[in-house]
Amino acid sequence: MAKQLLSRALVSPSWLSAALKESHVGASLRILDASFYFPAIRDARKEYEEQHIPGASYFDIDKCKDKTSPYEVMLPSESDFAKYVGNLGINNETHVVVYDADHLGMYYAPRAWWMFKVFGHQKVSVLDGGFRNWLKQGLPVTAEVPEVKPEKFHAVLNSFLVKRYEDIQRNMDSKEFQLVDSRSEGRYQGTEPEPGEGVDPGHIPGSLNLPFTSFLTEEGYEKSPEEIRQLFQDKGIDLSKPLTITCRRGVTACQLVMASYILGKEDTGLYDGSWFEWFHRAKPEHKISEWKK
């Protein structure tokens, strides 16, 4: 089945369907539904309980996080991540396939993919096209929640890939890395509101804007490597140089991290606190926005 792997980060619905038929789901292959919605316009867990890919467990991004942080979905500790995914039947040899049910095709799944990557797990993929296209192809679903045997998972954080507030602050002058914001142009410029309350739109000085939706086809699949490369080039982003991605809370930024990874760039950083943290901590002059309350 390895030949059906679409890229270094993606598997196709047909690949996963074949794995299910061959009964590969277990400690060697775990499927995770990482659907989550903010604002809560849909109940992701309820939808999971109603229908999901056979053998899939629910990965709750809002629980697998640093619960002590005042910011939104910050990374958990090594031990907390290890415990959480271990309880999902995942060990360090498990191939993890993540998907979500967003109408765009892939929204939260790349965040879960990145979390595994940043904690040292290489055998992780995103289902290209997500649950939307799984359903469209008429592939099997179930309401049965699998019983999994807990496994031992050892997590080692690659801190180089995680940028903190101080790193972004220093970079405004040092220009150590290119900073790219994956939100929509309106939220980046400050002409359309941020979802939820307590945060105005705008962007970090010196950051470029490349919306994560640019990397998805209308059908919800990842664009080709050639198209991905062109998107970066058109924005003047040099993939041979250090790169960090930001967004509102470190979720859609993972789409760009994954896109650069598909092109062979494994050192793209992510500002975990992203605009939510920056908005609450940065000086007024370090928040660029056209927003008028």
| Whole-number Å distance between alpha carbons of 39 and 193 | 13
> Pick the catalytic residue: 53, 247, 257, 262?
247
In our burial notation (b when 16+ CB lie closer than 10 A, e otherwise), range 219-236 reads ebbbbeeeebbebbeeee
Distance of CA 232 to the CA centre of its chain: 18
What are residue 96's phi and psi, to 5 degrees? -100, 130
Pick the closest to residue 204 from 269, 279, 273, 257 (CA basis). 279
What are residue 13's phi and psi, to 5 degrees? -55, -40
The count of C-alpha atoms lying within 13 angstroms of the C-alpha of 53, restricted to the half-sphere facing its C-beta, is 33
| Whole-number Å distance between alpha carbons of 214 and 234 | 12
Q: Is 254 a catalytic residue?
A: no
Which residues belong to the active site? 247
